[in-house]
Amino acid sequence: MTRNRPVISSVRCLAAVFVSLTVLACLNLFGCGLHEKRHESEPVELDSLGEQPIEPLPLTVDFDVAQAALGEILFAEPRLSGDSKVACTDCHHAEHGWADDQPHSRVVGRPESPVNVPTMYNVRFLYKLSWGGKYESLEAHIDALMTNPKVMASSWEIATQHLSELSSYRQLFAAVFRDGLTPSNLRQAILDYERSLVTPNAPFDRYLRGNAQAVSPEAKQGYALFKSYGCASCHQGMAIGGNVFERLGVLRNFFDDRGHFDNADLGRFNITKREQDRFVFRVPSLRNVALTAPYFHDGSAATLEDAVTTMASYQLGRELSEPDRSAVVAFLRSLTGEYRGNSL
Amino acid sequence: MNESGVLRASLAIAAAVFLALLAYSALHALDYGEEEAYSRDLRRVQAATAELNERVLKSRSALLSQYDPLVHALRDLHALHERLKRVPEFLGRSAALDMRARLRDSEAQLQQKDELVEDFKTQNSVLQNSLHYFPILANSVIDRARVTPAGATVASRIQALISAIMLFDTAADTESTSRVQSAQVDLSNAKQAAQELQLNHELELNHELELILAHSQIILERKPLTDGLVKQILAVPLPRIALALEEAYSLHYRSATDRALILRQILFGLASITIVLGLTDVILRLRRSALALELATGELRQANAALAREREKERQLGELKTRFVSMTSHEFRTPLSVIVSSTDLLENYSDRWDAERRSDHLERIRSAAGSMDRMLDDILLIGRAEAGVLRASPAQLNLDEFCRNLVESLEHSSGRSHSIRYSFSGDPQVTLDERLLSEVVGNLLSNALKYSPTGSQVDFDVDANDEQCKFAVEDRGIGIPEADIPRLFVSFFRAGNANQIKGSGLGLAVVQKALDVQNGTIEVQSRLGQGTKFVVLVPRDLGPLAASKSSSNEL
């Protein structure tokens, strides 16, 4: 029933959401409609591609719909922060693929973020989070951000306290959770929402599933180049990255050329303190990459073209011709999926 | 009952211990589903490790084009460890501690492996790229460089580097390493020489040559590093620990099942004891109640018997009283009416009667009064005897003389209607109560005369030996019906064939009472219509031990 509803991310829609939440909670109580299931049939072409470094995202994922709907409201709720001023959506913008369009996020009352804020889409498929791979799970990540004085400067208890002052929240939680508004239920709702942020059915995924017409010939050409240039050495798997750490600047020194250097550039070294991890970052997922400019940990690449050029140069030691680069960018644009049935 | 108290207390203890152990065993019962899942997870640790190793090797050999399988294998291993930390309750606390300690060890190894795999992926990505791209790049540069004579030198140097790298990729030892290094130096020099000839600029080779050198350097550095990481990953003793974990688990499992078996046996024993104790208790209770019932029944029966005896006594007493009243009233009325009628006659006709007739009536009055007197004596004697106050007062007595006088007096009073044949033998000097003896013998003799036809003979034989005197009185009279003999000595009882003959029914009762106080006995033999014989035995010397024996128990 929420399947075809447009994205709701504003507190203004609270009343409408409340009604649907109540219905969902009732369904939940009666043990039906617990998990959202997506089933879309795709024409399967005979010329299968064979084993590929990239796999399509699953069409169906499990999460609690009512809790995720509540989490969606909470995601935009500044009362989660210690000073009731900062919401998750202040850095994660829905219109920018749940990333920030600024190289470094600027939020009132908070220091500038040291790195570019990455997308929230498909985080459930990542096994380590943050640029340095600091967090092993979504739980560890969100717990750290809640208490981080530079981010939310709060705690689940403080946020619960703030929310409990509003009767609408008490009612919402009571409708979704048996024990109503509690710190752990608050956390669970947000986690369920994070896990619901999945973008299946990208044109390239449809291509991988056998629909030869799903992507343009240029994008197919781009994919071939993506593999032959060696991009797929790191950007592979279901998330097209996100499962390996790599040094930024393998064949050329990225930071020397950039001209300045700060602590965030140390990457994984900041977490492991191992010399070999200096300038090493988690290879980011390229899913919905067209939506999440600017690029890299420092947000130094404003466009996809810039990012592709930089990567080819510093990681692979290659200069790309203009047609080749366009083809790779066309391929990258075919990685933008659908959220709640709508193309992003 | 103390015994049953102990029994019941031990029954309660046995039952309580049984229930407690039952609850304990139920709480620590083996959950087969849980056990199966746990041992499956244990086995899967080795399988998942092998899977991870296989995927690492495949990655190293470029047979795997993505790292998701490695990540998934590691995640599976971590998830397995998390699940295995929940040791089945059934194994017990110490086993759980042991298992968790081993799991911590295993997890530390897994963590190490995790980090090694992470480093491997980082190194391998770059290495694979270079291994893939280096020959393509080098060959394309060779093709381009070969077109000029100066380029041919560069091309041959590149060719030498390709050979050196190929050898190094096959067998990375010091020799192949130094060969790569010298090939790199050669190519560098050639590049330098070509640069001086402006060749590179012409062919735009400078950047490509640098890239060739860079990739060869990457291969030279990262191949040993990556291979070293693969070796380390394979060397992590996770399978060994997993095997030890499995063995430890099966040991714990066996000891837990042994414990459960022992517990079950104890439970069985306790259940048996409880049942036996319970049955014993029930049996004892039943037996006790049966015993009590029997006792109560016995008492009741005795009470009933006593009551019946009491009632019989009462009935006999009542009967006796009735008989006494009717008898006395009848027996006393007869002589009284004689006295009254003779007195009336004397009062009215004495002046007209002669002396003989007057004396006849006076004699009748005397006789009637005497009869009443005797009857009164008899009743008083019986009453005294029954009240227990009748005493024998023995004195020196010539028995022969006593008997002879008695016979004569009786012959006289009966008007010699019968002949009494008297004989005596033995020593006539005895110590007996003369009055009681005369009651006994007198009554027996007068009965013999009364109940035998006139003119018949009555035999009276007395024999006084050293110990006792024997008196035998035998008549040839009407006899006594056999059925009446048992009640012959009861007061006022009269035999059925004696109704026509006057009598009070007191004579033989008096005889009995008189004999009782003299420790005497009496026997009777009688044949109806032929005669009766009474034999009385009395101790010859009653002496000072005057019979104190009460006859009250005889009645």
Largest Cα–Cα separation, chain B = 223
Q: Judged by CB atoms within 8 Å, which residues 420-439 of B form the interface with A?
A: none
**What share of chain A has pLDDT > 90, as a percent?**
77
Strands B457-464 and B419-426: parallel
Residues 6+ apart with CB under 8 A from A103: A116, A294, A298, A299, A300
Which of A229, A236, A244, A315 to mutate to probe the B interface, most B CBs <10 Å? Answer: A244
CB-based contact A319 B207, cutoff 8 Å: yes
Name the residue of chain A whose CA is nearest to B123's CA: A246
| Cα separations in angstroms, B85 against B38, B42, B98, B250, B383 | 10, 11, 11, 16, 111
Residues 6+ apart with CB under 8 A from A64: A28, A34, A35, A192
Specify the pLDDT at position A296.
Answer: 95
Task: Name every chain B residue with its beta carbon within 8 A of the beta carbon of A137.
Answer: none
Residue type, B301: R
C-alpha distance from A245 to closest chain B C-alpha (Å): 6
C-alpha distance from B192 to closest chain A C-alpha (Å): 20
Tell me the backbone φ, ψ of residue B494, rounded to 5 degrees: -130, 140
Closest residue to A51, CB basis, from B65, B118, B126? B65
Q: Is A261 on the interface with B (CB under 8 A)?
A: no
DSSP B372-405: HHHHHHHHHHHHHHHHT------EEEEHHHHHHH
Which of A136, A137, A240, A243 to mutate to probe the B interface, most B CBs <10 Å? Answer: A243
Same CATH topology for A11-34+62-196 and A203-343: the answer is: yes
- Domain B390-539: CATH architecture, name and number where available: 2-Layer Sandwich (3.30)
**Nearest Cα residue to B474 out of B412, B552, B394, B418:** B418
| Cα separations in angstroms, B272 against B20, B21, B286 | 15, 14, 21
Q: Is A249 on the interface with B (CB under 8 A)?
A: no
CB-based contact B67 A55, cutoff 8 Å: no
Name the residue of chain B whose CA is nearest to A281's CA: B122
CB-based contact B66 A234, cutoff 8 Å: no
Residues 6+ apart with CB under 8 A from B447: B507, B508
Q: Give the tens place of pLDDT for each residue, A38-48.
A: 444 444 443 45
Which of A225, A251, A285 to mutate to probe the B interface, most B CBs <10 Å? Answer: A251
Q: Is B93 on the interface with A (CB under 8 A)?
A: no
ipTM: 0.84
Specify the pLDDT at position B418.
Answer: 85
Least confident of A12-21, A60-69, A233-242, A331-340: A12-21
C-alpha torsion B107→B111→B117→B119, nearest 10: -170
Which of B63, B64, B71, B124 to mutate to probe the A interface, most A CBs <10 Å? Answer: B71
Closest residue to B65, CB basis, from A52, A276, A280? A52
Residue carrying the six token digits 């077109």: B147
CB-based contact B214 A251, cutoff 8 Å: yes
- Domain A203-343: CATH architecture, name and number where available: Orthogonal Bundle (1.10)
Closest residue to B66, CB basis, from A237, A280, A316? A237
Query: Which H or E run contains B159?
Result: helix B149-170
Q: Is B216 on the interface with A (CB under 8 A)?
A: no
Task: Name every chain B residue with its beta carbon within 8 A of the beta carbon of A54.
Answer: 66
DSSP lists the bridge partners of residue A342 as A339
Question: pLDDT in tens for each of the 555 residues of chain B?
Answer: 577 788 888 888 888 988 988 888 887 777 788 889 999 999 999 999 999 999 999 999 989 999 999 999 999 999 999 999 998 888 888 989 999 999 999 999 999 999 999 999 999 999 999 999 999 999 998 988 888 777 888 889 999 999 999 999 888 889 999 999 999 999 998 888 877 776 555 667 788 888 999 999 999 999 999 999 999 999 999 989 999 999 999 999 999 888 888 988 999 999 999 999 999 989 999 999 999 999 999 999 999 999 999 999 888 888 877 877 777 777 778 788 888 888 888 888 878 888 888 888 888 888 888 888 888 888 888 878 877 788 888 888 888 888 988 888 888 888 878 888 999 998 888 888 888 888 888 888 888 888 888 888 899 999 988 888 999 999 998 888 888 888 888 877 787 787 777 777 788 888 888 888 888 899 998 888 888 999 999 988 876 544 444 444 433
Residues 6+ apart with CB under 8 A from B532: B448, B451, B474, B475, B477, B479, B480, B524, B525, B526
SS3 B534: strand
In this structure, the number of other CB atoms found within 10 A of the CB of residue B467 comes to 9
Tell me the backbone φ, ψ of residue B477, rounded to 5 degrees: -95, -150
Please report which residue ranges of A197-294 form alpha helices under DSSP H.
203-208, 217-228, 254-258, 269-272
Residue B224: is the preceding peptide bond cis (ω within 30°)? no
CB-based contact A316 B129, cutoff 8 Å: yes
Domain B31-236: assigned CATH number: 1.20.58
Name the residue of chain A whose CA is nearest to B125's CA: A233
**Per this entry, what is the length of chain B?**
555
Q: Is A341 on the interface with B (CB under 8 A)?
A: no
- Please answer whether residues B273 and B14 qualify as being in contact, where contact means their C-beta atoms are separated by less than 8 angstroms: yes
In B259-292, which positions are buried (b, 16+ CB within 10 angstroms) versus exposed (e)? eeeeeeeebeebeebbeebeeeeeeeeeeeeeee
Q: Give the tens place of pLDDT for each residue, A2-14.
A: 334 444 444 454 4
Q: Is A54 on the interface with B (CB under 8 A)?
A: yes
Q: Is B111 on the interface with A (CB under 8 A)?
A: no
SS3 B457: strand
Q: Is B321 on the interface with A (CB under 8 A)?
A: no
Q: Judged by CB atoms within 8 Å, which residues 336-355 of B form the interface with A?
A: none
Going by CATH, does the domain composed of A11-34+62-196 fall within 1.10.760.10?
yes
Q: Is B332 on the interface with A (CB under 8 A)?
A: no
Q: For chains A and B, count residue pairs whose Cβ atoms are closer than 8 Å.
A: 58
Residue B310 CA to residue B322 CA, distance in Å, equals 18
Closest residue to A243, CB basis, from B65, B71, B126? B71
Q: Is B62 on the interface with A (CB under 8 A)?
A: no
Residue B47 CA to residue B73 CA, distance in Å, equals 10
Closest residue to A317, CB basis, from B70, B71, B214? B214
C-alpha distance from A276 to closest chain B C-alpha (Å): 9
CB-based contact A245 B121, cutoff 8 Å: yes
pLDDT of A66 strictly over 70: yes
All structural domains of chain A with their residue ranges: 11-34+62-196, 203-343
- The band of A314, judged by pLDDT with boundaries at 50, 70 and 90, is very high
Find the mean pLDDT for residues A213-239. 94
CB-based contact B125 A234, cutoff 8 Å: yes
Name the residue of chain B whose CA is nearest to A52's CA: B65
Q: What is the 3-state secondary structure (H, E, C) of A165-195?
A: CCHHHHHHHHHHCCCCCCHHHHHHHHHHHHH
All structural domains of chain B with their residue ranges: 31-236, 390-539
C-alpha distance from B240 to closest chain A C-alpha (Å): 27
Largest Cα–Cα separation, chain A = 62
Residue type, A328: V
Task: Name every chain A residue with its beta carbon within 8 A of the beta carbon of B119.
Answer: 276
C-alpha distance from B117 to closest chain A C-alpha (Å): 10
